[in-house]
Structure 1
């Protein structure tokens, strides 16, 4: 595949037997846009800005992931192919068994620090937001009618599929058939998620994935591909952004550090018109703001007393904004059932010892169980619970074939749109981020919705022959079960973090203000610094987070390009 622009320093080192070295930046190198973070926000934004004719540099702290971009991490049975662990759908869950070299090491939560970010390591789920996701959370200019054009553009490029195997078959569908059929008998309706995005109340359907040709697709195979073919686009991996270099409210560049390979020094934006965009995720973007002297004073003092102290911008130029507050995540509640019709497939064992027939089937024809996301996800289903406080709360349920028995299915309930509980993340003197206040079920109406959703599911499945409730046990009430699970990330977390650089009209520098960025995603107090990722989401959506972020990036690109 032809690639234009500056080729990754990391790829150059991977192509030789020489030990990795850092590349010092030439002092005269400038870019119209420097984007930090190559995930669901950064990649689409880089494509759109370079498409408009601007010089764009996209910086990723981790190594390449997909084989199409020079990635090399793979099991032995993929040797001799251009595929890596990130490309094969059936290996997506391997990050939970072996995250070394893939997950970020500077946060207490699981996050992908590789090219593609979360879109490289997740299960590839991909469906359109419910209109209420935008209408109930976002300010004017970001409502569902405003997002329609961006949504259409995103799903034209990445339509998604409900049958990843190229032969159109769904393998090992017994779990879907048992649970989906049971829901239908209880009155739930079957929907095709991306054809009926507004129908998410007592509905169910097949999981939709961003895969294409039975390989991981998404932004890595679309937006990054088109961007890479432009001479005005550059991509660096293994390069850590330390801070935004700024003079008062104007960013002049970014200081970067070599991560084994990559670049070191200060890279500058085009004088006068250049811009910096943070797209490093809810923790990564907040961390960069802190290190750049933007955030609550208590956190900036932590940075000042760290190894950053000598180079940190002076306190007279600090911008006091509520970065790190408004932290949110889908509240995850796992239940487990078992049924004799369910068939387990050991995707974890497929890393070292795949079933020979299945391995050959995948490699030769891109079909079979390994063409599907581990661990056989589906069905997905939704319900809306009217909250005790008058706020409707959207629940998304996601089933998968794994658990304590060979016939188990684990079903996770995610509390999304309508949740009002919030938490906070902070930075330590070691410059690591952590969740200081978990955002789970801090409001009674949020907990009540989670409990009611479980009660409703128990009622829907009560007459299914052969079905066994493993968790919660039959003698445990839904309320007792929900209350028994600690409201901490290790037990309730979904790794769908949002909100740490909230968008809004209430400037966070003012008394009572809660927003970090304005409606153009520009940081308050700065004239050329932006944030475009899940950090800016005011509230939790029920949508697949990756899809919502890509849509937001498409929309933000238009707003940013429209600024003078």
Structure 2
């Protein structure tokens, strides 16, 4: 038994089916019951109960989300009878890049399916009411997703954008995470591939793929088109302290392996003063090819297969603009699952691929039970296991030099001069990512178990943990490569996906690295007398601070989920830990692949977007050669 508390009411509190925004600032607390919450007579009361039938509710459903709730399917929503050589489920970082690459061969027909609606104005995104349209953009072709300085609005209003069937923030719009994130764009640390991935995926073997990514999306340190960065006081203050402590300034993308006691200005995937990335490059190129098709507002319910061979997919609309029905593959066609860690895990489960306990939940569900593939054709693989995420631990400082900019207020009521500067020339602070991120800095810590662990610190100019914005800065520590704590995802009877086993702070080595990293930070910051560490509090030991820090998804997630369809040579069919082989093909199948962060074997050292695109480029080399 337990209880939950939320800061925001459901859309219609009188309706038990009413939509609840579960991502508002992550302000949901779930707690175990305390002491005598259960009456001592509870067991005897239960024994007195008499079974009765419960009438089916006929109340209407009040829903404002456009990205998660299936509606009745009209005749006009039936897809064409065209068959495809490649069907890619999920238009995020991996799906967009891979679908675009596969479409380069004009003889192959490629279908890219996105569960959510369009985001960027380029792709038909609109400023609908549920997204609280900023009026200063109303006469432009820009949406909130296009303007870098508005990216933090996702933490204020995620309705119709976030996936309501996932227990952590996931983007259910065109572009996925690349449409809603802060746009950080890092060239992969070679050690990430050499430490985590099997042969065929080592740094020397993915080098060409990475090079192709950064030729197409080079990134920029200066998103404002006048080549300036704004309100750098906080950055400069921390950088001076790090320099005095012996840390070195580096160009993060020119020196991707220099990630120990180094710091950098933050590079972004933005281009021309707007959000760029895969949607502005790969997708633009693919859209100009006659053999490529994109459909949105449409989820993939399941992969249609006989044994290990897929013959198509079944669709389900997420609103009246979506499609339903089946789409077929050609005889040698392939299905690529690229729906992100939460979405890909769910799709595999619904397709009869996963551990038996999870598949039985789907089989018993009201929605899928009657139509699920026969248990005689289930493929038993450890889908959902090996869940990983950067462990986030915040430190808050008071920095006399930093200057806070209210990006949240700028969403509806920006400073007029800043709005005009952005609209007329794509210059000014609104061309920068909120909330004025930087510096980013790294250190390698050897844990008590002898394993080297990579830490990344990301500084941002805003308050947190009860400290006001004014001169506060939050420095988030991400525990990455070498991390040994993993968790798991599970599916619920309503077919939502939840983190059932947290991947945080399970081992002494992980905990020790977190502690040592904070101590080293405190020592470095002491070089600047204008900086005061306020969280942890003065006099509190770092050990006690970390021990008392909540271990929960809301407190520790960096939202960099990976690993639930692990790549490896040890097939899960025979007791191994891997779901896909080194060609990204699901074990036990001959034409089903997974290409997104789900296949990462272990935690990477930094933000995953550019890594996912690089993995898609490398996967293309394998998949395009299989036919």
TM-score normalized by structure 1?
A: 0.95
Taking the aligned partners of 1:72 and 1:27, their CA distance within structure 2 comes to: 26
Match of 1:218 among 277, 282, 286: 277
Alignment partners' CA distance in 2, 1:22 and 1:209: 43
Pairing 1:177-196 to 2, within 5 Å after superposition: 177-196=236-255
**Which runs of structure 2 are paired with 1:149-164 in the superposition (5 Å)?**
149-164=208-223
- 2:522–2:533 CA contact under 8 A, matched in 1: no
1:262 aligns with 2:322: yes
Aligned to 2:39: none
Match of residue 605, structure 2, among 537, 542, 550: 542
Give the Cα–Cα distance (whole angstroms) in 2 for the partners of residues 471 and 141 of structure 1.
44
Query: In the alignment, which of 109, 130, 133 is matched to residue 55 of structure 1?
Result: 109
Whole-angstrom distance in 1 between the partners of 2:233 and 2:105: 48
Following superposition of structure 1 onto structure 2, how do residues 388-467 of structure 1 map, counting pairs within 5 Å?
388-403=448-463, 404-405=467-468, 406-467=470-531
Structure-2 residue corresponding to 1:382: 442
Whole-angstrom CA distance in 2 between matches of 1:93 and 1:84? 14
Q: Are the counterparts in 2 of residues 38 and 60 from structure 1 also a CA contact under 8 Å? A: yes
Q: CA RMSD in A?
A: 1.3
**Cα offsets for 1:394-429 (capped at 9, x unmatched):** 000000000023001100000011101110000001
2:334 is aligned to 275
SS of the equivalent of 1:200 reads coil
- Out of 290, 302, 321, the position equivalent to 2:381 is 321
Hey, what does 1:143 align to over in structure 2?
Answer: 202
Match of 1:67 among 99, 102, 121: 121
Question: Residues 285-341 of structure 1, C-alpha deviation per residue, up to 9 Å, x if partnerless?
Answer: 010000000000000000000020111000000010000000000000011001111
State the alpha-carbon separation in 2 of the partners of residues 423 and 20 from structure 1. Answer: 37
* 2:574 maps to which of 503, 510, 523: 510
Q: Distance in 1 between matches of 2:489 and 2:317?
A: 26
Alignment of 1:103-122 (within 5 A): 103-122=162-181
Offset of residue 388 of structure 1: 1.8
1:98-125 per-residue CA deviation (whole Å, 9 max, x = no partner) reads 0011100001100100000000000000
- 1:544 CA displacement: 2.1
> Is this contact kept in 2: 1:507–1:516, CA < 8 A?
yes
Confirm whether residue 551 of structure 1 aligns to residue 611 of structure 2. no
| Residue of structure 2 equivalent to 1:298 | 357
The answer (yes or no) to whether the contact 1:165–1:372 under 8 Å persists in 2 is: yes
Which residue of structure 2 lines up, in the alignment, with residue 531 of structure 1?
A: 594
Partners of 1:283 and 1:205 in 2: CA distance: 31
Whether the 8 Å contact between 2:167 and 2:499 is mirrored in structure 1 is yes
Shift of 1:85: 0.3
Cα distance change on mapping 1:352 and 1:263 into 2, 3 Å: same
- SS at structure 2 position matched to 1:116: coil
Alpha-carbon contact 1:23-1:264 (below 8 Å) kept: no
For 1:365-380, list aligned pairs within 5 A: 365-380=425-440
Deviation at 1:466, TM superposition (A): 2.2
Confirm whether residue 230 of structure 1 aligns to residue 289 of structure 2: yes
Could you tell me whether the CA contact under 8 Å between 1:21 and 1:262 is conserved in 2? Answer: no
Provide the aligned length of Structure 1 versus Structure 2: 545
Aligned equivalents of 1:183 and 1:168: distance in 2?
Answer: 25
Distance in 2 (alpha carbons) for counterparts of 1:214 and 1:471: 35
Q: Is the 8 A contact 1:25 1:267 kept in 2?
A: no
Offset at 1:140? 0.4
Q: Is the 8 A contact 1:129 1:544 kept in 2?
A: no
Cα gap change, 1:311 to 1:273, in 2 (>3 Å): same
> Which stretch shifts more, 290-299 or 177-186?
177-186
CA distance in 2, matches of 1:244, 1:474: 56
Instruction: Give the deviation of 1:348 after TM superposition.
Output: 0.2
TM-aligned CA deviation for residue 214 of structure 1: 1.0
Contact in 1 for aligned 2:161/2:171 (Cα 8 Å): yes
- Normalised to the residue count of structure 2, the TM-score between the two structures is 0.86
Higher RCO structure, 1 or 2 (CA under 8 Å, sep 6+): 1
Give the drift of 1:26.
5.0
Do the aligned residues in 2 keep the contact of 1:249 with 1:527 (CA within 8 Å)? yes
Q: Which runs of 5+ in 2 are unaligned?
A: 1-65, 67-71, 128-132
Q: Which has the larger radius of gyration?
A: 2
SS at match of 1:559: helix
Contact in 1 for aligned 2:73/2:324 (Cα 8 Å): no
